[in-house]
């Protein structure tokens, strides 16, 4: 689970790490609104991030390091062949807690609730088969997201040069 840095470390000049405070920063695409020069928690390239307050879920794989605030959590598979299984497990966890989560105004998922969630883990043969079948799909999704990010960056540069 994330932890928000002190507000005096926030900046808009891209100093430090981009900060993902909550699902609003990665709904649709990953688009942090600020950076921090003193991150308290870091989600690393290849991990999954997700919202844990108000909007829970929106699980996304990240392709660089980010600072994560208190509205964001991160998880990584212990082994590469568990990666796709982790994604679907997280989706099931968020579906479950969306219906039973705590919070009087909006749904929250605490660290304890996250750790208490139980799921069945397939045997090694089934896990390997699942990984081999799903890895090409996940690789294509990753490739498309990286290409979208690149095209978006080029678009921004061209628009900036135009004005």
Please, which pLDDT band fits residue 123 given cuts at 50, 70 and 90?
Answer: very high
Q: Which domains does the chain have, with CATH numbers?
A: 7-162 (3.90.220.20)
Q: Give 26-31's long-range contacts (Cβ < 8 A, gap of 24+).
A: 26/51, 26/58, 26/60, 26/72, 27/55, 27/58, 29/145, 29/148, 29/149, 29/152, 30/60, 30/62, 30/66, 30/149
Q: How far apart are CA 72 and CA 133, in angstroms?
A: 29
pLDDT tens column, 57-67: 889 999 889 99
Please, which pLDDT band fits residue 107 given cuts at 50, 70 and 90?
Answer: low
pTM of this structure? 0.80
Please, which pLDDT band fits residue 103 given cuts at 50, 70 and 90?
Answer: low
Q: Which residue has the tokens 């690393």?
A: 44
Q: What pLDDT is stored for residue 101 in this prediction? A: 55
- Checking if the pLDDT of 100 tops 70, the result is no
């Amino acid at each position: 689970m994330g932890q928000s840095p002190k507000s005096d470390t926030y900046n808009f000049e891209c100093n430090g790490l981009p900060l993902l405070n909550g699902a609003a920063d990665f709904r649709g695409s990953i688009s942090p609104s600020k950076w921090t020069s003193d991150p308290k928690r870091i989600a690393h390239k290849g991990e999954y991030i997700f919202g844990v307050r108000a909007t829970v879920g929106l699980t996304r794989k990240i392709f660089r390091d980010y600072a994560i605030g208190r509205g964001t959590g991160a998880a990584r598979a212990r082994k590469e062949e568990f990666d796709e299984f982790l994604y679907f497990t997280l989706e099931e966890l968020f579906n479950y807690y969306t219906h039973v989560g705590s919070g009087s105004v909006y749904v929250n998922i605490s660290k304890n609730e996250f750790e208490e969630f139980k799921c069945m883990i397939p045997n090694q043969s089934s896990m390997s088969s699942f990984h081999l079948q799903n890895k090409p799909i996940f690789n294509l999704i990753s490739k498309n997201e990286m290409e979208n990010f690149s095209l978006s960056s080029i678009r921004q540069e061209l628009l900036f040069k135009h004005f």
